[in-house]
Chain A
Amino acid sequence: MSKSKYSPDSDGYYGEFGGAFIPEMLVPNITELRENYLKIIESDEFIKEFHHLLRDYTGRPTPLYFAKRLSEKYQTNIHLKREDLNHTGAHKINNTIGQVLLAEKLGKKRIIAETGAGQHGVATATVCALKGLECVVYMGALDVQRQAPNVTKMKMLGATVVPVESGNKTLKDATNEAMRDWINHPDDTYYIIGSVVGPHPYPDLVARMQSVISYEISLQLNTHIGRSFPDYVLACVGGGSNAAGGFYHFLENPAVKLIGAEAAGKGIDTPETAATLALGKTGILHGSKSKLIQDKYGQVIEPYSISAGLDYPGVGPLHSYLQSTGRCTYIPVTDQEALDAAMELTQLEGIIPALESAHALALLSKQKWNRSHHMVIILSGRGDKDMDTYSKYFSHESH
Chain B
Amino acid sequence: MNRIDELFKRKRESVLSIYFTAGYPELNDTVHIISGLEKAGADLIEIGFPFSDPVADGPVIQASSHRALENGMNLDILFEQLSGIKATSSIPKIMMGYFNTVYQYGIDHFISKCATSGVDGVIIPDLPPEVYEREYRQLFEAAGLHVIFLVAPQTNPERAEYLETLTKGFLYRLSMSGTTGNAIAGDETWGKRSNGKPVLIGFGIHDHATFELACRHANGAIIGTGFIRHLATLEEDRLSKKKIDGRKKDRETKERSEDRGREIAEICKGFIQKIRS
Contacts and interface: CB of A to CB of B under 8 A. Distances in A.
Given A21-B126, A25-B178, A28-B155, A166 B100 contact: no
B208 interface: no
B178 A183 contact: yes
Nearest to A296: B104
Contacts of A296: 104
B210 interface: no
B62 A284 contact: no
Given A24-B125, A180-B179, A285 B154 contact: no
A286 B100 CA distance: 10
Contacts, number: 103
A311 to B, nearest CB: 15
A11 B131 CA distance: 10
Interface string A165-178: 01100001000100
A36 interface: no
Contacts of B156: 28
Contacts of A357: none
Given A299-B52, A300-B52, A27 B159 contact: yes
Interface string B65-109: 010010000111000000000000000000000111111110000
Interface string B176-189: 01110010000000
B56 interface: yes
A380 to B, nearest CB: 26
A298 interface: yes
B173 to A, nearest CB: 10
A283 B57 CA distance: 20
Give chain B's interface secondary structure class: loop
B53 interface: yes
Interface string A337-364: 0000000000000000000000000000
B24 to A, nearest CB: 15
B182 A286 contact: no
Interface in A281-333: 281, 283-287, 292, 294, 296-300
A179 interface: yes
A186 interface: yes
A226 interface: no
A20 B156 CA distance: 18
A297 B66 contact: no
B127 interface: yes
A231 to B, nearest CB: 39
A294 B100 contact: yes
B109 to A, nearest CB: 12
Contacts of B163: 24
A19 interface: yes
A296 B55 CA distance: 20
A24 B152 contact: yes
Interface in A12-44: 19-25, 27-28
A186 B55 contact: no
Contacts of A19: 128, 131
B27 interface: no
Interface of B: 51-58, 62, 66, 69, 74-76, 98-105, 125-128, 130-131, 149-152, 154-156, 159, 163, 174, 177-179, 182
